[in-house]
Amino acid sequence: MKNKYIAGIVAAAAIISGCESLDYIPGDQMSGQTFWQTEDHARQAAVGLYAAMKADWCFGLEFTFDMCTDLADGTTPWADISRGNSFASNSSGVQNHWQYLYELVHRSNTVIRNVKNMPISQQTIDRVTGEAKFLRAMAYFRMLNCWGGVPYYDESCDINEQFANLDAPRSSADEIRQHVIDDLTDAIAKLPVNWDAADLGRTTKGAAYALRGKVYLFNRQWNEAIADFEEIVYNKSNNYGYSLHPDYNELFRLYNGNHSPEMIFSIQSIDGNTAGYALNIVGYFGNKSTMRLIASNCIVPSTTLVDMYENLDGSPFNWDDLFPGFNSGGPELRRKYMSVAIDQGSTKVTDLLECDTTKVMDAYRLRDPRLCQNVITPYSHYLGTDAGSNPMDKQFVLADPTKGGAPMEAMAFIRNSEGWNSYFWRKWIPTGNLDGYWGEYNRTPYEFPLIRLGDVILMLAEAYNESGAVEKAVAEVNKIRERVGMPGLNSGASWLAVAGHDDMADRIRRERAFELAGEGQRYWDLRRWGMLEESIKNATDIFGDLMYTRSYQTRHELWPIPLVEMERNLNLTQNEGW
């Protein structure tokens, strides 16, 4: 069924705010005496909140944060943060994220302030208030993770009257966290367990529990996190209806209104052409063989991510087991093992050179199935399109540039628009044109999770492990591994044995990488684990050639307060080191 609620977002956004520049001055249909009167008005106001939440610079680019980690490399939109060398208080990404998050806060405040006095049912008032408090908490939690303490504005701040005088000093990080907890606690009390099918996509009681548990987890409050996660994983007070989707690959390919019970809170996508709404995942993750040969691989899976995936039996993967000297050998040795020659017309392979393509393919396909479901690997095939959007089979070939031409997407091969010999994303990338459903490369018609059960289960495992319940942690992780046919931890082989807390912590961190790659969670994980610095490595391609350098400074643990915000609000103080 198509999601009528989210499909109305674009139209309703004009009601709640008419300013694309986000100068904090809402369009005033919402502020007028005629608006806050009916049940439909309350619903339209809630729709506008989701319009703000899914905006690119709010949470609509969530998947792109992996390029700031060891799981992906890329050119945009977070190049300054990813590379570290030009990360500054005048960064456009830093400024945009701040501004759009506060836009969500102020829209939420407007709704909370006005809906309470509407002449409508108390149930509607409570539910819309719960939605607004959930989304306000979501925005402040992100700001807490980016900047630490920030200025706090609640519903007593009327943006229509105070937009020129937003000069609150920064609250402490602990104060912001408590505000987030309070909002989510109230949202839990007010939100329904589920909505009717027509309102699919609106936040629920289970989503509020999940987000509050995540806040507790990030603050190392293990018992509180366990209680919230167990509530929805084990249906302690209600039947929330969440379950792991049986097919990992299909989970990220649900379109045309199809919905998975694994999705706890997700951004819905309607239509892959021009009439509906869809995230621009392909515009960043796609390749030059995707949809009319227009999509560009702005973000690609890293060699670190690919090399992390285990063998099918759960043992660690090692390139030297297949190609002697591969790990210590340079790019030329790796080209010898992995590249072929193609003809000048780029239509076929003319010489295998010393490459055994079957052996290369086995290096990837005899591993954790999530590797080849998430990543297009060398010599595998991908159903892209031609210039007319017609389905066309393509192959990812590693071509030796000294032995022939370069791969061309217009022919039979996948080409990297940056000239890198990198991997490509398969996760999130539609195949062909989805039987005509999909026609715009920048409109990826899949449901995108901001919170899903697989993530919550792994967070519950982490909280169990940190509280000393290692065996419970093992049981949760094994649920995730079982879905993709990977052997469970502590299931027999010596390499599957868990040797206590530290070993389990490492396994959970790796499992989160295997499972959540391409979903934008890794950056926030690395920072809270205190592992951002050790994860920073130069970006190298499949052969080991340098793509670009990365650097780290201690000040990168918190983002700088945007310079323009400090000019607007003289009561702001800067984070240390900036």
pLDDT digits (tens, 9 = 90+) for 415-442: 899 989 999 999 999 999 999 999 988 9
| pLDDT value of position 6 | 36
Q: Across-strand partners of 438?
A: 272
| pLDDT value of position 454 | 99
Q: Which residue has the higher pLDDT, 86 or 465?
A: 465
| pLDDT value of position 406 | 78
| Window from 243-247, 410-414, 491-495, 503-507 with minimum mean pLDDT | 410-414
Extract the runs of DSSP E, i.e. beta strands, from 423-485.
424-425, 448-452
d(CA 121, CA 411): 61
**Average pLDDT score over the chain:** 92
| Window from 79-93, 124-138, 494-508, 534-548 with minimum mean pLDDT | 79-93
| pLDDT value of position 332 | 94
Question: Could you tell me the two tokens for 494?
Answer: 């010596």
For residue 2, pLDDT beyond 70:
no
| pLDDT value of position 411 | 73
Nearest to 312 by CA among 236, 269, 363: 363
Model confidence band, residue 300 (pLDDT cutoffs 50, 70, 90): very high
The per-residue pLDDT for range 33-74, each reduced to its tens digit, is 689 999 999 999 999 999 999 999 999 999 999 999 999 999
Helices 453-466 and 205-218, packing angle to 10 deg: 40
d(CA 53, CA 16): 13
* Whole-Å CA distances, 412 to 292, 349, 475: 14, 10, 45
d(CA 158, CA 166): 10
Q: Which residue has the higher pLDDT, 12 or 490?
A: 490
| pLDDT value of position 404 | 77
For residue 4, pLDDT beyond 90:
no
The predicted model scores a pTM of 0.94
Q: Which residue has the higher pLDDT, 434 or 16?
A: 434
Averaging pLDDT over each range in 352-361, 384-393, 494-503, which range is the top one?
A: 494-503
Model confidence band, residue 32 (pLDDT cutoffs 50, 70, 90): low
d(CA 531, CA 552): 12
Average pLDDT over residues 537-541: 97
